[in-house]
Amino acid sequence: MVREFVVAVTVDRPLSEVFAFVADHRNVQPLLAGVRRWEPLGRGPAREGARYDVEIEVIGLRWADVLRITTWRPGHAIEFVNEKAPIRVEGRWRFREALDGTRVELRIRYEPPGRALGALLAAPIERAAQSQLQAAMRELKSTLEEV
């Protein structure tokens, strides 16, 4: 059974500035608790097809993988999938103008292994991951609005 969760925030900054900040891989690790590594594989700017060597920790469990950008629409969307881990993860960042700045949304979809048992075991990890990502959204807002 596919599971999904969404975190979002409105940042009182122009859309182009918010997108540029999120799109810069150097901002991921300081922004998101639990990220141990987030490094590009290859040279050049972020774009569709770009790949990143990542290691993430959630409630003491470490996950090393390669993330690949599947959609790159500056000012609108960044989508990614993982390439290695046994649990397929898809993510989608969306950006849109709002009356009070820029609305940023991150949607994560994944399918835990083992059907019902996997879903049961995934629940506490999902809650922790969602909490970490929501904290990252608050930090994104705080960091960009201080400028």
Which pLDDT value is given to residue 72?
98
CATH number, position 36: 3.30.530.20
Q: What percent of the chain has pLDDT over 90?
A: 65
Q: CA quadruple 57, 45, 108, 90: dihedral positive or negative? A: negative
Task: Please state the domain count of the chain.
Answer: 1
Residue in the structure block whose two tokens are 């009356």: 99
Average pLDDT of the segment spanning 27-39: 90
Using the 8-state DSSP alphabet, how is residue 57 labeled?
Answer: E
Which pLDDT value is given to residue 58?
80
**Kind and range of the H or E element at 29?**
helix 28-31
- CA dist list (Å): 128 to 60, 70, 122: 10, 26, 10
Q: Where are the beta strands (DSSP E) in the chain?
A: 3-11, 35-41, 51-58, 61-73, 77-82, 89-98, 101-110
- Give the three-class secondary structure for 81: strand
**Burial of 114: CB neighbours in 10 Å, binned 0-12, 13-18, 19+:** exposed
Is residue 113 predicted with pLDDT exceeding 60? yes
Exposure class string for 126-140: b at 16+ Cβ within 10 A, else e: bebbbebbbebbebb
Which pLDDT value is given to residue 59?
81
Is residue 77 predicted with pLDDT exceeding 60? yes
Counting DSSP H helices and E strands in the chain, the numbers are 3, 7
Structural domain boundaries, residue 25: 3-146
Amino acid 106 reads L
Which pLDDT value is given to residue 116?
62
